[in-house]
Chains A and B, each alone.
Chain A
Amino acid sequence: MNGLSFDVAHLLAGGLVLISFMMLYQDRLYSLLNIFAMQAVVLALAVAWQAFVQDAPHLYVTALIALVLKAIIIPVALHRTIERLGIHREVETVVGIGLTMLAGIGLVALSLLLMLRVTIGVDALAREDLSFALCVVLLGLLMMVTRRNAVSQIVGFMSLENGLVLAATGAKGMPLVVEISVAFSVLVAFIVIGVFLFRIRERFDTVDVGALHRSRGDSE
Chain B
Amino acid sequence: MSGAAIEMSAVLALLGVAVLALVLSRREQATAIVYGATLVISVIALGNAAMRLIGDPAGVSDLVLPFGLPWLGAHFHLDALAGFFLVVINLGGAIASLYALGYGRHESAPHRVLPFFPAFLAGMNMVVMAADAFSFLFSWEFMSLVSWALVMSHHREADNARAGYVYLVMASLGTLALLLAFGLLAGPQGAYGFAAIKAGTHDPAISALVLALMLLGAGSKAGLVPLHVWLPLAHPAAPSHVSALMSGVMTKVAVYAFIRVVFDLIGQTSWWMSAVILLLGGITAVLGILQAMLEKDLKRLLAYSTIENIGIIFVGLGLALAFRGSGMGVAAALAFTGALFHVVNHSLFKSLLFMGAGAVLTATGERDMEKLGGLIHRMPQTSLAFLAGCLAISALPPLNGFVSEWLAFQAVLQSPQLPDWGLKILVPAIGGLMALTAALVAATFVKTLGIAFLGRPRSEAAERAKEVDMFSLTALFLLAGLCLIGGILPGLVIDALQPLSQALVGSRLPLQSAEPWLSIAPIAETRSSYDGMLVFVFIAVSAAAAAYLIHRLASRAVRRGPAWGCGFPEYSPVAQYSGASFAQPIRRIFATLVLGASETVTMPPPGDTAPARLTVVVVDPIWTKLYLPVTGAIGWTAERLNRLQFLTIRQYLSLVFGALITLLLVLALWP
Contacts and interface: CB of A to CB of B under 8 A. Distances in A.
A118 interface: yes
B657 A220 contact: no
Interface centre among A110, A142, A145, A210 (most CB of B within 10 A): A145
Nearest to A142: B657
Interface in A5-33: none
A141 interface: yes
Contact of A141 (B646, B648, B657, B665): B657
B648 A209 contact: yes
A141 B660 contact: yes
Contacts of B654: 145
Nearest to B648: A213
Nearest to B655: A145
Nearest to A141: B657
Contacts of A195: none
A145 B664 contact: no
Q: From DSSP, what is the main secondary structure of chain B's interface residues?
A: helix
Nearest to A113: B668
Interface in B635-671: 646, 648-650, 653-654, 656-657, 660-661, 664-665, 667-668
A218 B668 contact: no
A53 interface: no
Nearest to A112: B668
Interface residues of A, number: 21
Given A144-B653, A145-B653, A145-B654, A220 B664 contact: no
A108 B653 CA distance: 19
A114 B660 contact: no
Contacts of A216: 646
Contacts of A145: 650, 653-654, 657
Nearest to A137: B660
B266 to A, nearest CB: 39
B467 to A, nearest CB: 65
Contact of B668 (A114, A142, A210): A114
Given A114-B667, A117-B668, A212 B649 contact: yes
A94 interface: yes
A218 B646 contact: yes
Nearest to A111: B664
Given A142-B657, A145-B657, A110 B664 contact: yes
A148 B654 CA distance: 12
Nearest to A147: B650
Interface in A71-120: 94, 107, 110-111, 113-114, 117-118
Interface of A: 94, 107, 110-111, 113-114, 117-118, 138, 141-142, 144-145, 148, 209-210, 212-213, 216, 218, 220
Q: 9 tightest A-B contacts by CB?
A: A114-B668, A213-B648, A145-B654, A145-B657, A141-B657, A113-B668, A145-B653, A144-B653, A114-B664
13 contacts: A110-B664, A110-B665, A113-B668, A117-B668, A141-B653, A141-B656, A142-B657, A144-B653, A145-B650, A145-B653, A148-B650, A212-B648, A220-B648
